[in-house]
């Protein structure tokens, strides 16, 4: 599969790069960002953390705002940030910010017109890692993290594929999308009105019924304006207690939903992942 380099910036001894490629899974051109730490400069394969961003974001938000490259360079970890949805003139969209472009929810849509392009689950789990590992000095040892909608994506993908990831973390994840406005709107459009089909993409349900466990770390700001209506971290805590899942969920007074929150704790998360990626 051909990839085209769009931009390159040296930072902390490594390289932040953007690439575009044709996605067979999504049936459109896609863009992703990658940070290659200095340890990869001689072709040595390094592990990776995949970062899934939230509503309205692209590959750029995390890479430009989180400050993660400094710690990733120290730890010898690559960071891969895909886009949040398919994009293009012929890709289905909606005027609202929480459906369509920038709001793929990391599921495989089964309903028209979304099912022609919106297969972000397969893209993140299968197509993109295969492309990354074939094109860069990246090993198959990987962890996954994300924010808000991307936190939902990271948790559900890891919970459904525990043998593919070493660890999972999330910031302000949509923990129970089958019971919140964002999730109900997106799932009804992408997956249809049969709510039993939604449960396979709900982190709380997946954690409650989990048989295989991954180290899991979640950060939540108590001043997050979406906390009660959309995020519902208490459902994730209850699910972990029910199954004995090793979840560490930390609440922080005064922090909101912004990248100021992510930047404050991203170092802890990268060090958390590094401890499992090295072994």
Q: Is 224 among the catalytic positions?
A: yes
> Scanning the structure block, which residue is given the tokens 């991954």?
214
Beta bridge partners of 14: 11
Q: Considering 148, 167, 172, 204, which one is annotated as catalytic?
A: 148
- Please list, in sequence order, all residues whose beta carbon lies within 8 angstroms of the beta carbon of residue 183, skipping any fewer than 6 positions away: 105, 152, 174, 176, 177, 198, 202
Using alpha carbons, select from 153, 158, 88 the residue that is nearest to residue 120: 153
Q: Out of 201, 224, 269, 273, which one is annotated catalytic? A: 224
Residue tagged active-site, from 152, 257, 269, 273: 257
What b/e readout covers 29-65, taking b as 16+ CB neighbours within 10 angstroms? ebbbbbbbbebbeeeeebbbbbbbbbbebbbebbbee
Query: Which residues carry out catalysis?
Result: 148, 224, 257
């Amino acid at each position: 599969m051909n990839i085209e380099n769009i931009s390159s910036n040296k930072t902390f001894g490594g390289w932040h790069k953007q690439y575009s490629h044709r996605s067979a899974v999504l049936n459109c051109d896609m863009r992703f960002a990658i940070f290659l730490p200095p340890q990869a400069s001689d072709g040595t394969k390094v592990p990776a953390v995949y970062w899934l961003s939230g509503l309205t974001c692209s590959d750029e938000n995390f890479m430009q705002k989180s400050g993660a490259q400094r710690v990733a360079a120290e730890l010898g970890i690559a960071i891969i940030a895909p886009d949040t949805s398919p994009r293009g003139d012929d890709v289905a969209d909606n005027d609202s910010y929480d459906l369509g472009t920038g709001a793929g929810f990391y599921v495989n849509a089964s309903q028209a017109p979304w099912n022609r392009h919106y297969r972000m689950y397969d893209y993140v789990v299968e197509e993109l890692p295969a492309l990354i590992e074939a094109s860069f000095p990246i090993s198959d040892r990987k962890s996954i993290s994300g924010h808000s909608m991307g936190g939902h994506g990271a948790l559900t993908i890891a919970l459904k594929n525990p043998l593919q990831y070493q660890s999972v973390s999330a910031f302000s994840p949509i923990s129970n999308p089958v019971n919140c406005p964002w999730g109900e709107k997106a799932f009804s459009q992408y997956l249809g009105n049969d709510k039993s089909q939604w449960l396979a993409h709900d982190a709380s349900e997946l954690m409650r019924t989990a048989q295989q466990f991954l180290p899991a770390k979640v950060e939540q700001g108590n001043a997050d304006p979406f906390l009660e209506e959309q995020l519902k971290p208490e459902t994730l805590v209850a699910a972990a207690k029910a199954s004995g899942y090793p979840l560490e969920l930390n609440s922080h007074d005064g922090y909101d939903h912004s990248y100021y929150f992510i930047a404050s704790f991203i170092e802890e998360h990268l060090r958390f992942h590094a401890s499992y990626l090295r072994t």
